[in-house]
Structure 1
Amino acid sequence: MKSIAPFLTFQGSAEAAMRYYEETFKDAHIRMLTHYGEDTPEMAGKVMQGAIQIQGQLIMVMDSQTPAEFTFTPSMSFFIECMSSDEINLYYRKLKKKGAIHMPLDEYGFSRQFAWIQDQFGVTWQLNLS
């Protein structure tokens, strides 16, 4: 195996999500961004293939050419182990904006601080400070 990476399929908001994550996370960089061209008029300008790297983790993204009956669910989430209370508060504040809170930032028996949130694009994140 050469590599393994999560692959997120969006319904037209892939580039907005990539730019949002690049602003949200300290060590995030868009590594690749290819758009559909005029030969696919209904998708022109949407992401044909993209990749963003967050804290060394490569995440592939695209906009779907066909409307899907499925979307992201909390059963698949990104787990972030934070280094400090300031860091977990920063990510919590940014990621919950226009999103949904599944578990509010709080102290739980398994963690000093933990939150489970869904961002405005439907992607879920678990934030942890052990």
Structure 2
Amino acid sequence: MPSRLNPYISFDGDARQALEFYKGVFGGSLTLNTYGDFGGKEAGDAGDRIMHGMLESDSGFTLMGADNPPGTQHNPGNNIAVSLSGEDAGELRGYWDKLSTGGTVAVPLDKQMWGDVFGMCMDRFGITWMVNISEQQA
């Protein structure tokens, strides 16, 4: 899979409804994972909220989104991030190094509970970036 660049939108509890709406607009395939799918009892009341959603349209558009993590504040107008994802670890680590230099790292680039390497940072211009390096299937 080649690396890709696409928008990632944060929601305040209505990510499922929003992403289903966008599926109605753009068509395609929608994948939704909840906090409960990965967090078990730690997810608490947020268990049904969307931890990660991805819409891939037949036209080649990709839109990702999620509900804010439990305990974080939703800030409309500042609710979009840019996601870089793929399997080329060298390429994606290079982007990470450049984007995070002079910025603020919120989640260090490291192996995550879903099996991929993921990190999130805000660059020196205030733009939030998420980098996800997919583990290749054996």
TM-score normalized by structure 1? 0.47
Greater length-normalized contact order (CA 8 Å, ≥ 6 residues apart): 2
TM-score normalized by structure 2? 0.45
Of Structure 1 and Structure 2, which has the larger fraction of its residues in helix? 2
